[in-house]
Amino acid sequence: MKILVLNAGSSSHKSSLFDLDPAANDLTPPAPVWRGQLDWSHQAGQVELSAHTAGGASIEEVIKTDSKMEGLERLLKTLHQGPTQVIDALSAIDVVGHRVVHGGPDYSDSVAISETVKTTIRELIPLAPSHNPANLEGIEVLEQLLGDVPQLAAFDTAFHAGLPAAAATYPGPYAWWEKGIRRYGFHGISHRYGAQRAAQLLQRDLAELKLITCHLGNGCSLAAVAGGQSIDTTMGFTPLDGLMMGSRSGSVDPGILIHLMRSEGYSADQLDHLLNKESGLLGVSGVSNDLRAVVDAIATQNPRAQLALDLFIHRLRREIGGMLASLGGLDALVFTAGIGENSPLVWEKASAAFQFLGLRLDPAKLERSPEDRDIAAADSAVRVLVIHTQEEWAIAQDCVALCQAQSG
């Protein structure tokens, strides 16, 4: 079965083609046969296209266009023409899976795209103004390019749709809840995958596990997963809540915003920029939103870089503690995404606060590795897993399930 996965963003698109045997029950995610990317972010009026195949062929080009349609059309051509050809024609694609950021409170799983689903995604644009329009456009462009191939939407919010009311509600006026101002949570595709993969690695039934999944990339969030369900999470109404991130502040006293509006005349757009683009590791260190650059700056005795790292770790530990309280126990702490997969420093510093639980790391395992693995000591009371997030593969698996449900 040939499955195209599209993650359409506001200034870049990432796409993969998987060729899966629906009968095979793969435990290890297979590499996509083709990967493609479009990036409009560097210069107005042009897009940088790149594609490569599992066989090692690649292509890179710059196309003079702002049009998402033209960019995607050209990208999809690299699937069936030229050096990166992996299929005979676009008609060979059996199903398309789209990553969609906001699915609202009602979708608790991936769904087949219909006019109703598109309307929901459109209605949610005010809640995800930089993501849902791009996701919707990606869906509509692929409808035009591929005809009536089945398409699926995998929502970043879906895994958290069943949050208990106390975890989902903000303690503002009740009218907020009625207006949809509530905690939705994000990174759900990654948290769900991390939890499922953790159960595989631990050879335990997910239904009996209490897990904290730590998605630490440019965006960072935690989920408390009990019996395979997200029961708490750090991101909320928007992906700005919770942990300190690369350039996002995470939770701050909302009184600060009122103060800045009153005393310095900040507008909504200025606050948006301040909190999303000028805060976090970048804002505190003044060096970078990339943890690697912050750590390099610490080596040159940069005190703000040191503060940024200390603050990142402090917030991470504090929020892990919050998830721990929501779960009332812990079988495994799961690290995933760019920082979570690659930073022994973060594993060590975050874990050190939980030694009182009997959590101990194995010093011999604190190295980066392409393998998903358990880095806890043999006698640790809590397992600590490093899992490479596979959001595209998770979406591809949902596509297989959709096709099987539709045909059977």
Q: Which residues bind ligand ADP (CB under 6 A)?
A: 217-219, 246, 289-292, 337-339, 342-343
Nearer to ligand ADP, 79 or 235 (CB): 235
Smaller CB separation from ligand ADP, 48 or 290: 290
Cβ-closest position to ligand ADP:
338
Residue with tokens 């690697």: 292
Give the residue among 159, 205, 185, 176 at the shortest CA–CA distance from 319: 185
Q: How many CB atoms lie within 10 A of CB 158?
A: 26
Instruction: Name the β-bridge partners of 224.
Output: 212, 232
User: Is residue 362 annotated as part of the catalytic site, yes or no?
Assistant: no
Nearer to ligand ADP, 327 or 338 (CB): 338
In the bound complex, what is the minimum distance in angstroms from residue 291's beta carbon to ligand ADP? Answer: 4
Q: How far is the CB of 305 from ligand ADP (least distance, A)?
A: 13
Q: How far is the CB of 285 from ligand ADP (least distance, A)?
A: 11
- Give the closest residue to 70 by CA, choosing from 47, 44, 98: 47
Q: Which is nearer to ligand ADP, 138 or 217 (CB)?
A: 217
Question: What string of H, E and C letters represents the secondary structure of 172-210?
Answer: CCHHHHHCCCCCCCCCHHHHHHHHHHHHHHHCCCHHHCE
Between residues 189 and 339, which has the closer beta carbon with respect to ligand ADP? Answer: 339
CB of 333 to ligand ADP, least distance (A): 17
Write phi, then psi, for 300 (nearest 5 degrees). -100, 25
CA 285 to chain centre: 24
Pairing outcome for strands 373-374 and 383-386: antiparallel
Strands (E), 241-318: none
| Cα 55–chain centre separation | 27
Q: Which of 39, 156, 372, 398 is catalytic?
A: 156
Q: Which residues are catalytic?
A: 156
